[in-house]
Structure 1
Amino acid sequence: MSEALLASEAGTGAAAPAPTSGARQFWRRLRAQRAALVAASVVALLVLVALGAPLLTAIEGQDPSTYHPDLIDSGRGGVPIGSFGGISAEHWLGVEPQTGRDLFARLVHGARVSLGVALAATLVQVLLGVGIGIAAGLGNRLVDQVLSRATDVIVAMPLMVLSLALMAIVPSGFPRPVLVALVIGLVAWGSTAKIVRAQTITLKELDYVAAARLSGWSTWRIARRELLPGLAAPVITYAALLVPMNITVEAALSFLGVGVKPPTASWGQMLTSADIWYQAAPQYLLLPAGALFVTVLALTVLGDGVRTALDPRAASRLRIGTGRKREGKA
């Protein structure tokens, strides 16, 4: 509640009960969803693997870029020597066809790139979307019309086509993971801006925002102190769903050859050349595809769980439904 509204009610002397911590309520609702907890555990494990990739590969004694030509059969076109793609005590998941690079090392280092790019792109989308959405919602009619039409143009543009065009004109010396994150974030902020604008228009009609205006607060102060707390729940919810979408986009760009370039490991880049090896070395295709599938699924389930935990109406509907079931059993 606004400080201005609290100040106007301070003279009444009525003691209000202390509200329950929002973080505690969120955690309690999230714990009630077993699927979300499992997804959160999977995501936490993936993040730990990505952060600890250098340590894990050091324990294995390999790195993602060293070639091992002695581990591939050149007479058969570069197929790994040994069972299950060359799995051994030195190479836990086997080696890459034609090059002999360690698959485990490339897989865990690819997690760093895929998750890092997705999180950075999501951050750019949220910052741009929140800023433009608040400006459109609080601005006058002209500002709202200009920003809303610009947002509509961004939303209408095909993401992959525009990303491919932007990636093609940037010099090759620019760090590719950074470029991919910037391109995805700069192209795909429109939906976030539309959500924030709609929520801002709703919030600015509430009493505590009106009290802040009557107190003489500036537009920037109202946005920072009154609107941003109210926007936190929908923005966090949508951001949680953006991360798996951005992982998929990064993988698609790398698969098309305009994303992360070799020798940098990326799940999408690994899939680029894996399609011709699905019979001779199926693990080369299945491992990055499986990692991508599990990551996207876990993040999607976690995002849906966060949405339910942050939405009190969802919890109310759940309690009402449970109550009806109990009455029916009685």
Structure 2
Amino acid sequence: MSEALVAVETAGTDASVPAVSGARQFWRRLRAQRAALVAAAVVALLVLVALAAPLLTALEGQDPTTYHPALIDSARGGVPIGSFGGIGADHWLGVEPQTGRDMFARLVYGARVSLGVALAATVVQVILGIAMGVAAGLGNRWVDLVLSRITDIFVSMPLMIMALALLAIVPNSFPRPVLVALIIALVSGWSTTAKMARAQTLTLKSLDYVAASRLSGWSTWRTAVRELLPGLAAPVITYSALLVPSNISAEAALSFLGVGVKPPTPSWGQMLTSADVWYQAAPQYLLLPAAALFVTVFALTILGDGVRVALDPRAASRLRIGTGRKREARAETAVPKDETAAAKQKENRT
């Protein structure tokens, strides 16, 4: 009974979203979207690179923190010696200006930090948002009022200003990636998840099978786990897939502002911070982390949209990629032509 179709009120829009009907059906719908499959392959490759960073750097024979002053031209202000930033057999993507640290090693280890912070923040946002939303939806009027007002306060909080203030007062001894993930998770993201979970809980609570479970003596906790959480799966998974790219962008922005991950720990946003003065003398130092960020965020956005459409096949994709739009345009223009041809045939017969 918890697999029935349920109406979901998302943040700002109303949509009917079917409950999860099985992994096989979901995979079949996702396979029909070529762009989502390509994005999933790109994301899987990025995750694999991040996990295998120690192995990849060992194959190259480098690490992300060792300085190579012999590869820097001090007479030119610290520009790497050689073409394309010192690319060679020992340094696959060249070296950093001024320090001579290996760019490939810093990029793959930076993927670990950026993806790890984004995924950890997403997990905390989803858990906290579901807990607050379900508690507000199942609680009495006062519980709902208090939790809803707390959620509204966090919705209105500006992420960057709050993050800058909190990161500035926390001691440097606290692990910086963990701190950045916690601040991103607690300041933003979870509040929208909580609103969505509350709306879904209020909708499900009025259905017969949920009311029957409560009247049969089930505890609130058991009702939430057995009857409500399956109905929350589709919208929460969809929103979680779209939270990851926004969290990556937030981590990169904080590191770019100098309050995120601190050196010598590599991060794509941190690499962009020190690359802004080298875009003419050593453009690869700016282009490589910027391209990595762009590809990651773009692939995750496409994948998140594909997951949303696979879970809700009646919703049209927000990102029209490939030849689908051309096929639809041809189909729309084909109808008037057919009608015109049929009308001419009638005239000829008469």
Is 2:163 the partner of 1:154? Answer: no
The structure with the largest helix share of the pair is 1
Does residue 1:32 correspond to 2:32, yes or no? yes
Query: What SS does the aligned partner of 2:282 have?
Result: coil
Q: Distance in 1 between matches of 2:26 and 2:156?
A: 35
Aligned partner of 1:187 in structure 2 is: 187
Work out whether residues 270 and 288 of structure 1, in 8 Å CA contact, stay in contact via their aligned partners in 2. Answer: yes
CA–CA distance in 2 between the matches of 1:89 and 1:2? 58
Aligned match of 1:56: 56
Alignment deviations for residues 258-304 of structure 1 (CA, whole Å, 9 cap, x no partner): 10000000000000010000000000000000000000000000000
Question: Following the alignment from structure 1 to structure 2, what is the Cα–Cα distance between the partners of residues 40 and 265?
Answer: 25
Runs of 4+ in 1 over 2 A off after TM superposition: 312-315, 324-330
Q: Aligned letter for 1:106? A: R
Structure 1 position 237 matched with structure 2 position 277: no
Structure 2: stretches of 5+ with no match in the other structure: 4-19, 317-326, 340-350
* AA matched with 2:100: G
**Does the residue aligned with 2:93 lie in a helix, a strand or coil?**
coil
- Cα distance, 1:212–1:325 mapped onto 2, change above 3 Å: farther
CA contact (8 A) 1:2 1:211 kept: no
- 1:296-307 equivalence runs, <5 A: 296-307=297-308
1:85 equivalent in alignment to 2:85: yes
Check if 1:22 corresponds to 2:16: no
Take 2:64 and 2:136, find their aligned partners in 1: how far apart are those partners?
47
What is the correspondence of 1:186-205 to structure 2 with a 5 Å cutoff?
186-188=186-188, 189-205=190-206
The letter for the 1-side match of 2:68 is: H
Kindly provide the amino acid, as one letter, of the partner of residue 87 in structure 2: I
Which residue number corresponds to residue 42 of structure 1?
A: 42
Mapped pair 1:109 → 2:124: no
Aligned length: 309
Rate the CA distance shift 1:282–1:294 in 2: closer, same or farther, 3 A: same
Q: How does 1:7-18 map to 2 (within 5 A)?
A: none
Q: TM-score, normalised by structure 1?
A: 0.90
Pairwise CA RMSD of aligned residues?
Answer: 2.0
Question: CA shift at 1:325, angstroms?
Answer: 4.7
TM-score of the pair, normalised by structure 2:
0.85
Structure 1 unaligned spans of 5+:
4-19, 316-320
Contact in 1 for aligned 2:50/2:109 (Cα 8 Å): yes
State the distance in 2 between where 1:178 and 1:211 align.
Answer: 43
- What letter matches 2:52 in structure 1? G
Whether 2:138 is the aligned partner of 1:127: answer no
**C-alpha separation in 1, matches of 2:76 and 2:192:** 50
* Partner deviation per Cα, 1:217-251 (whole Å, 9 max, x = no partner): 11111100000000011001000000000000000
Q: Which amino acid aligns with 1:195?
A: M
Query: Shift of the alpha carbon at 1:2?
Result: 5.5
Offset at residue 314 of structure 1 (A): 2.7
Q: How far apart in 1 are the matches of 2:292 and 2:32?
A: 27
Aligned to 2:346: none
